[in-house]
Structure formats: structure tokens, C-alpha cells
Amino acid sequence: MKLTGKQTWQFENPLFVHSSGTAVGPKEADGPLGQYFDIKHKELHCGEDNWELAERRLMEQAVEQCLTKGNKTIDEIDLFLAGDLLNQNVTANYVARHLSLPFLCMFGACSTSMETVAMGSALVDGGFASQVIAATSSHNATAERQFRYPTEYGGQKPDTATFTVTGSGAVLINKEVSNIKITSATIGKVADLGIKDPFDMGSAMAPAAADTIAQHLKDLNRTPDDYDLFLTGDLSGVGSPIVKELLKEEGYDVHDKHNDCGLMVYRPDQKVFAGGSGCGCSAVVTYSHIFNELNAGNLKRVFVVATGALLSPTMIQQKESIPTIAHGVVFERADGGVNS
């Protein structure tokens, strides 16, 4: 791996997505991408006794699907990288307990999907591991209980609010040739424009996404024409127009090449306010639909930029503004076996 420019890692060895797995809740299964998800639950409890156990089951199932589709056993995996939205990353920690693998717990809020992929790729590229699983998850009810109001409270929300995705995604990274290659990653900087409203994450996170995309293009001396898609994580209906305007001010027009996972995972009539968000948002969309498009050759190069709001209820109660971050990974179509 080499550092190119200020923030971009270019991987020197061929790295590939060997396989991926996804598990989602009922609203996600009923959305426009429902056909692409591996496991679809009909109710939010996912067969468990509480919300937190349900989220844990989602991550365990995503990892199991990743292993099964990749024809790997758990004993063949060198390292597990994972994180989630809950305090002390309890979903990832308890899944790691179940898997009994060497484990690095990571937290980047909703940017965790690409943070784990970037770090996993760097470790494989550097020879510190051969088989790495990167995973993340979120659950609508666990996130609401922790960050806002429990679902049972029935609190009203503004149109700028996002709807936390119930889902988990896992990806296996190694050097075994497949149709999806991981070529570079851009590590984001924390941005904070003073926004304090936890019900307006799109506006808060858009500047971080714009900064990471612009820096990536500068570091690699590329233009938007070098990409088929710039996919942000969970800016949804509020943040997506903002990131496009911010990039246009920087001289990068991505209007025709940008989409957002939070806008893709649900239909407008599903009553999700501004769209989807959460650690699982970018993971389930990227590791299912986007990978399918890369496998099919419909996409050649995609820059996935997962966005995260680094807030906590304590800081919001203390009237602090919301720091945000965005990490991006480039996935490219390669000629090889299709396992994902």
C-alpha cells in the first residue's frame, strides 16, 4: 500500500471482494432492492426476544451468508473487523464472541462499512492477514432507543429526519481473483459546520462527503468522468443535493453520477421521511445491488463514500454541534470468478 496525495491509499497488490452477505428487516425487504438481499425477515424482532438480539442475529446471518457464498469455513478467516451504532459496539462485540475470531472493533458511526473495508484491505495488502471479513449493522429500533426516542414513545419527527435501516452486511476480502477488485481508499477528515439538530443528519454529513470525494479526485488526479458512480451512504433527500452543490463549487460536477444508499433502499411511499440511514444502509446496498451491477459489468468503477455522524445523546444534551466523517473505497470491475 502507498499513500497517494494527502489521504488516499492505493493498494499495491490485487485485492478482491471474494463474497458478501446481507440480512435485512421487513421494510428493507419490501423496498426496491428487496430481491438482492440474501436473508429477509418479516418482522423487526427477527425471531428474537428484543431489538438488540435482533440486530445481533442480522450480523451473524450476514457473516454466515458471506462464508457460505464464498465457500469458506470460519477456521479459514484470519481477522474479523466490525462495528455498529450501539454503545460500546455491543452488536459487533457479541458477534465476535460467537465467531471466536481475532477481532478488531471499529467505530465510524454510519461510515463504518467503508472504514472496515478500507482497513481490512490495507491489512491484506500489507500481508498482515490473508482472509478478512468486514461487517457492520444497524437496527431501526435499537438506534431509536439509543439516539432519539424509543419506538413505543411515538415521538413526532420533521421531514429532515432519516429512517435507520434494519440490516447488516458482511464482505470477505482476500487476494483470490474475482470480478470485483478493491483498488484504493480515501480516509476522511472530521468536518463540523456547527449543525446541532440530530434530526438533520443529511445537512450535517454532506460537507464531510464532499470533502472526501474532492480530496480523492485531487489525490489521484482524476475527474468525475473516471467513475460510473459516486455513491454516498446515508445523506438521503436532504444531504444529497447539498453534496452535489458543494462539489460543483469545487469544480467537480457529479450531478449525473451521484446516488445515495438512503434514497435507493426505500421507496418514497414507505414513510421514511428523508430516506434511509444507519451503518447497515451503505452496507446492504453496496454488498448486494452494487456488487451485482459490478459483477454484471453494468458498472466499471464505483466510489462508495459512507458517511457518519459522530454524535452521542450526551453531547447533544450538552448542546454540542455534530462532528461528521466520510470514508470512501473504490470498487472496480475485474475479470475473474464471481463469488459475491
pLDDT tens for 28-80 read 999 999 999 999 999 999 999 999 999 999 999 999 999 999 999 999 999 99
| Mean pLDDT computed over 114-133 | 98
Residue 316 has pLDDT above 80, yes or no: no
Interval 202-251: pLDDT, tens: 888 999 999 999 999 999 999 999 999 999 999 998 889 999 999 999 99
**More confident of the two residues 178 and 276:** 178
pTM for the model:
0.94
Which pLDDT tens digit goes with each residue over 156-165?
565 667 778 9
Q: Residue 147 pLDDT more than 70?
A: no
pLDDT at site 277: 84
Q: How confident is the model at residue 319 (pLDDT cuts 50, 70, 90)?
A: confident
Annotate the chain with three-state secondary structure: CEEECCCEEEEEEEEEEEEEEEEECHHHHCCCCHHHCCEECCCCCCCCCCHHHHHHHHHHHHHHHHHHHCCCCHHHCCEEEEECCCHHHHHHHHHHHHHCCCEEECCECECHHHHHHHHHHHHHHCCCCCCEEEEEEECHHHHHHHHCCCHHHCCCCCCCCCEECCEEEEEEEECCCECEEEEEEECCCCECCCCCCCCCHHHHHHHHHHHHHHHHHHHHCCCHHHCCEEEECCCHHHHHHHHHHHHHHCCCCCCCCEEEHHHHCCCHHHCCCCCEECHHHHHHHHHHHHHHHHHHCCCCEEEEEEEEECCCHHHHHCCCCCCEEEEEEEEEECCCECCC
Q: Hey, what's the cell of 52?
A: 438488540
Pair type for strands 79-83 and 132-138:
parallel
Are the CB atoms for 138 and 165 separated by under 8 Å? yes
Task: Give the percent of the chain with pLDDT over 70.
Answer: 93
